[in-house]
Amino acid sequence: MSRLAVLGAGAWGTALAAVLAQRHEVRLWARDRAQAGAIARERCNSRYLPQITLPAALAVGADADAALEGAQLALVATTVSGLRETLGRAGKVPVVWLCKGFEAGSGLMPHQVAEQVLGAGAPFGALSGPSFAQEVARGLPCALTLAAREAQFARAAAALLHGGRLRLYYSTDLAGVEVGGAVKNVMALAVGISDGLGLGQNARAALITRGLAEIARLGAALGARPETLMGLAGAGDLILTATGDLSRNRRVGLELAKGRSLQKVLAGLGHVAEGVRTAAEVAKLAHSHGVEMPITETVVEVLAGRLAPQQAVERLLARDARAEGGG
């Protein structure tokens, strides 16, 4: 039995901690002391996973140092905005993060943030793939990809987490795993808007396919491997997030299509929809690398309130015919 630390008690961190606690000694850290106390007493994260009873063996607390003491691996389950600070707490414990997106302002991928905080030679990686926290917490099957620069670390970390109904694959394509995980949230917003407008399944399939093409183009510019973007962390995660009813980003798109303001949609969501934060960073990265991403650009315009959802669809439909494989 290994000792693991999970830093962040949101839905995904709590779900993974609950599953891993069946096979390992796991300590879940919550930043908020009151939340940590409530989870520990009630054996339930009533805010993020209200219907899931947590294992008695799962330790929960608000002391990050205590959670990390003796840990063989730390899983950082914060949003991208909290990644830099949380990595600073890890010290010399090997780290794998679960967040998906680019750092606001800098446009850095999570592994680039980790290089700045921990050093390029530190043992770290990213865990991504098609995964809804509620399903994982219920013990339903799930397959994920763990990527790290060093193949030995990727293989060892994946083997540590693999087991039960949680299947792990490993990769050395950090850029591919992170680009796929980040940009699929933007595409899920677009699909949600389309579905909310009642444009049908043909339109949904077209948006997913062309969205994957945008992911592939940006991925190529950032050094990702094509096979990664066609795998779990790319196409797999995109399909789930764009079509699944548990997808927060899809729900935001559905609500925007009804004419609700972004502010009201997010206030009612109760969770973070990373695509909202990520869209502008993706558009800036695409522009700086000369990559054409019309769906992403249109989503940015809708989120900023400069374009109505129906106008966004008309803009995409009005684009000139071109050879498939182009923009």
Q: Which domain covers residue 84, as residue numbers?
A: 3-172
- 144 Cβ partners below 8 Å, 6+ apart? 127, 128, 129, 131, 166, 167, 168, 169, 232
184 carries an active-site annotation: yes
- 84 Cβ partners below 8 Å, 6+ apart? 103, 113, 116, 117
Neighbours of 304 (CB within 10 A): 11
How confident is the model over 104-155, as pLDDT tens digits? Answer: 999 999 999 999 999 989 999 999 999 999 999 999 999 999 999 999 999 9
Percentage of the chain with pLDDT > 90?
91
Average pLDDT, integer, range 187-197: 96
Catalytic-role residue among 92, 100, 184, 258? 184
Same domain for 78 and 126?
A: yes
Q: Which residue has the tokens 């009612």?
A: 268
Same domain for 126 and 245?
A: no
Same domain for 15 and 154?
A: yes
Instruction: Answer yes or no: is 326 within a domain.
Output: no
Instruction: Answer yes or no: is 35 within a domain.
Output: yes
The residue among 120, 142, 172 that closes a domain is 172
